[in-house]
Amino acid sequence: MSPDRAHTLGTAWDARIPFLPRTIWIYLWLFPASLLPLFLLRCRRLFRRTIVAYALVIAVSLATFAVFPVTAAELRVPAGSLDTGRLSPWAVATVYRLDPPYNLFPSLHLAVAALAALSAWTASRVYGAVVGAGVVLIAISITTVKQHFIADGVAALALSLAAYVAVLRPYRPRPGAPAAYGWRGPAAYAVLMALVYAGFVAAFLSRG
């Protein structure tokens, strides 16, 4: 994509949000959050619906990226100002390097994470509430690491809600058939998350 075609969605509210490098550890949950249905959803029918909802959100997002490209290049903290000798700024610099500041509206990662929370809510109100609280923190973190505009997050949440209404809300569990896994599912996911974060710390400690 040509940067000349990209729009900026910055507002006075975006400018007021402080850069908080430590929130990168919340932001990083965006990536493995999409895997949550594998660990929480026991019902195959609900899992298939979740895959359809994911596909819908991805298709709409990709079409929007093509028609209305957005860049956050001016929003980001200059890479040279990050103290990469410290763990959190290094993690921010790593994300900046691996994830170019384009294709931002809506935030696809946030939309998928929100869908994961909504699918968890469909299977178990407890799981959904816990994951939903995490998604709220993620929605904040995408602005405090200066990776997204507020509008990107709002659009992502609206898109995930629309996909939920269209695909997930009509789901009805079969009587007597649990829609969610027991404690072993979340426990296995917690192990995965521990490995993800440990990998980042190990990469920081082993850098040249």
pLDDT for residue 80: 85
pLDDT for residue 133: 97
pLDDT for residue 177: 87
Parts of the chain with a pLDDT under 70? 1-4, 208
The rounded distance, in Å, linking the Cα atoms of 24 and 87 is 10
Residue 71, classed as helix, strand or coil, is strand
Q: What is the pTM of this model?
A: 0.92
Per-residue exposure over 174-201, b if at least 16 CB sit within 10 Å of its own CB, e if not? eeeeebbbeeebbeebeeeeeeeeeebe
